[in-house]
Structure 1
Amino acid sequence: MSNSKSPQSAPDESATFNAPLQGLRVVDLSHVQAGPICAMMLADMGAEVVKIESLEGDMYREPIAGSFYQNFNRNKRSIVLDLKTEEGKDVALGLVKGADVFIENFIPGAVERLGLGYEVLRALNPALVYGSISGFGQDGPWVNRAAFDPAIQALSGLMDATGEPGRPPVRTRAAMIDYCAGTTMAFAIVAALFRRARTGVGDYLDVALMDVGMYAMSPYMTFYKLRGVTLPRTGSAHPATAPNQGFRVRDGYLYIAATSDRMWRDLCKVLGVPELAQDPRFATRSGRMKNARTLIDAVSPVIEKRDGSELEAQLLAVGIPCGKVRTVAEVFDDPYVVSRGMLEPTRGWIGEDVQSMKTPIRLSGMSSPLRRPAPALGEHSVEVLRELGYSASQIDRLLATQVVAQS
């Protein structure tokens, strides 16, 4: 498949990046976060991804100035299809016939009703790897229950474990279950492709957000099964080591993780409280956990008087993990962000200069280049139809009848 000729496209730097998935063809019938994140990861590694959107477009094109869509749909092309029409479905089937991977994240049964279920697509393309991401899997009592990341955080126990003691449960702002589900499916797809290379046969992959949420909470579920106890909310503190939490400093907050006996002694030295290092109540990890409240009460007043950045530097110098709590705006000021090159400037489809994040994966020291920014709605519809062999008159008719749309 050829790259977009749109003036919005970034320069092609793929010649300097040995993309491991170059030549892989992916049809992305997903929306919102988990599915698009999965397809984005494949696209970042060189796969050619065609995203199928409805006439209304992915609902995440709008929120926070399109920032969700901009980050989750880079390196893809967009075609708009009315899949409720036979002609629209025929275009989708044409894409699938030549594809390696198909991704969807609708409520179970929805794609079957569109005529794009696994059995139909497998008959058309036996080598297809078909990935379904859902809230609660493809069967079971909650199969038709709608799901978003925060609801899964609530249902999986993650939200109950998060927040300050004595206060309501708190969700994480970043949709970590969606990210983890998308990453899990991307790994599953690559694993299935690896097996397909030996067998020639595709596969059906089922990833449920609820399973991913429980998987993330697995240590605490195991502990409950062992002891019959649920750990209480501890705010920023870790339930197994102390001091391992955020502390107020003179200019904000600083997270300190003095997790070993040596780190504890060095922390006391830096803070100028050597007597605490000699206190037998705090000499061992188990002792520090048993007396955690007393320990925190002892060091907090000392830490509060310190400048956060200065204390951060002193602790890092003696090998104690720590970090000043920063706002999103403050993160950009750090030389680390520039040195790693994670931010990629481009011209977004909304007509503004935007910066999105590259993948954190590095191959031979290189991060994947931005081959194209997240596409405008239907930006590549005509281009994709031409590649499928549609004539100019056929394309004009599909556009006129709104089976297909082009931005």
Structure 2
Amino acid sequence: MSKSAIKTQFQLCLLSYLQQALALPRAVILHAAGTTEAARMKMPLSGIRVLDLCIILAGPTCGRTLAEYGAEVIKIDSWLRPPSDRQLSDVGRGKRSICLDITKSEGLEVFLRLVDTADVVLGGFRKGVAERLGIGYEQLRERKPDIVYLAINAFGQDGDWSNRPGYEQNAQAATGVQVRNGGRGEKPIHSPYTFNDYGTGLMGAYAVMLALLHRRRTGRGQFVHTSLAQTGSTFSSPFLIDHEGYERNEAEGLDARGSNALNGLYEATDGWFVIADADWDTLTNITAFKHLSARDEFATDALRSRNDAALCDALGAVFRARTVADWLNDLRAGGIDAARNDGIDRILNDDYPREHGLIVNEDVAGLGQVTHAGVAPRLSKTQPMLGTTPTFGEDTEAVLLELGYEVEEIDSLRTVGVIPPLG
């Protein structure tokens, strides 16, 4: 027996003794075992157990988000397909990590026993794959009628596209994002940030919590789903508006630096900055721009809209004469909202992101100190939990023992390859 198994078995024996001696619910004893679990008891999703079968980013982001608000999330991976260190420290934190091959009958039985204890299952499969594995919603609902089952994929559950594999870039292509970035008639540009992945994870967490509220009222679980394409369409909402007589005026490619001259990006001598919804009268009260108020083509809102390109050029010529810091000081003093365009190096070394929890540090085994994004949103009464990053599969034996497996049975699962070998 491994040292971790001996330790876990001792902890469970102690748990059983305390439960009987003090006549307290098992959950109370478990959560009292450490300050982290004690804090979890106060969270909105305390008492909710989630089984996370997802890979890459979208589904694991959903699981991470639920963990940040108190759910116990058990991340289930094949031990033959470990995630990268980057994925584990990004979307694995706050979860328990177990390795389990559910394609084997013994592994499937372990998973089904876990389902008996769970409230939520997260799956990131193409349509039909979960059913072939024996873990589809209808199959699990027969065993656990109140289960909430979230399915996340690239193109949804309906139509021919539901069977297509897909990732972030596929969803960007299908929802017009890459054409919009490149400009109509130009080469499409792939957005370097994975907003569909992370956005779909957040939408998935939102859907799960709505389903849990429904279950609280009715006692019934349900199947919920979202997709990267749905997220891409939602984020493209203003560009999807269409009706008779509507004149499309969508900024694209290099022109997509703002919706108009008073709301966009400008270059200074040492970098770029953005002004947001600047008021014309307020702007032209600033000395550097007073001369623009005398130009007839900018005299009214209608004229400024008609001559927006000329106004953009006029403002750009002024802004290129001084530094970003100079303009931020003058614009803010004059009542215009402006912000520097910062790169990652500056963000990681600036005080503001850390003071406001936009980025946080964590010591991760094998990696040292890791910087990653903080938690959002935040609640005044129940602050989210910044969970630690597990090592891959570290909770496998503990979870099996909690399910009632004997040490000999665990060794047998290891022998047939359902869980990883020791060492």
TM over 0.5: yes
Q: Distance in 2 between matches of 1:362 and 1:201?
A: 29
| From 157, 160, 174, the counterpart of 2:176 | 157
CA-to-aligned-CA distance 1:45-88 (integer Å, 9 cap, x gap): 01000011012335xx33xxx33331111100111111110110
- Determine the C-alpha separation between the residues in 2 that align with 1:319 and 1:35: 42
Q: CA deviation at 1:17?
A: 8.6
Does structure 1 residue 125 correspond to structure 2 residue 140? no
Alignment partners' CA distance in 1, 2:332 and 2:391: 45
SS in 2 for 1:162: helix
- The residue that corresponds to 2:303 in the other structure is 287
Q: 1:218 deviation in Å?
A: 1.9
- Matched pairs, number: 393
Closer, same or farther: CA 397–13 of 1 in aligned 2, 3 Å: closer
Shift of 1:326: 0.9
**TM-score normalised to structure 2 length:** 0.86
Whether 1:334 and 2:350 are equivalent positions in the alignment is yes
Q: Tell me if structure 2 keeps the 8 A contact 1:28–1:102.
A: yes
Distance 2:40 2:229 in 1: 39
Given residue 358 of structure 1, which amino acid in structure 2 is its aligned partner? G
The alignment yields a C-alpha RMSD, in angstroms, of 2.5
**Which runs of structure 2 are paired with 1:354-393 in the superposition (5 Å)?**
354-364=370-380, 367-373=383-389, 375-393=390-408
Q: Given residue 222 of structure 1, which amino acid in structure 2 is its aligned partner?
A: I
* Corresponding residue number in structure 1 for 2:314: 298
TM-score by length of 1: 0.89
- In percent, how many aligned pairs have the same letter? 33
Distance, in Å, in 2 between the alignment partners of 1:328 and 1:14 is 35
Change (3 A) 1:13 1:329: farther
Structure-1 residue corresponding to 2:10: none
Structure 2: runs of 5 or more not aligned: 1-26
1:109-138: per-residue Cα shift (whole Å, max 9, x none)?
Answer: 111111000111001111100000111112
Write 1 or 2 for the structure with the bigger share of helix: 2
Q: Which residue does the alignment assign to 1:84?
A: 103
1:344–1:148 distance in 2 versus 1, CA, 3 Å? same
Displacement of 1:371 in angstroms is 3.1
How far apart are 1:97 and its partner, in Å? Answer: 1.1
Q: Within 5 A, what are the aligned runs for 1:55-134?
A: 55-58=79-82, 61-62=83-84, 66-134=85-153
Segments of 5+ residues of structure 1 without an aligned counterpart are: none
- Flag the 1:379–1:51 CA change in 2: closer, same or farther, 3 A: same
Distance 1:206 1:16 in 2: 27
Cross-structure match for 1:325: 341
C-alpha contact 1:43 1:76 (8 A) present in aligned 2: yes
1:203 aligns with 2:203: no
Distance 1:161 1:225 in 2: 22
Which of structures 1 and 2 has the bigger CA Rg?
A: 2
Give the deviation of 1:363 after TM superposition: 1.1
Instruction: Determine helix, strand or coil for the equivalent of 1:51.
Output: strand
Deviations 1:323-380 (A, max 9, x none): 111110101232211221333322224332212222121111764232322x222111
2:42 is equivalent to residue 23 of structure 1 = no
SS in 2 for 1:159: helix
Residue 156 of structure 2 is matched in structure 1 by: 137
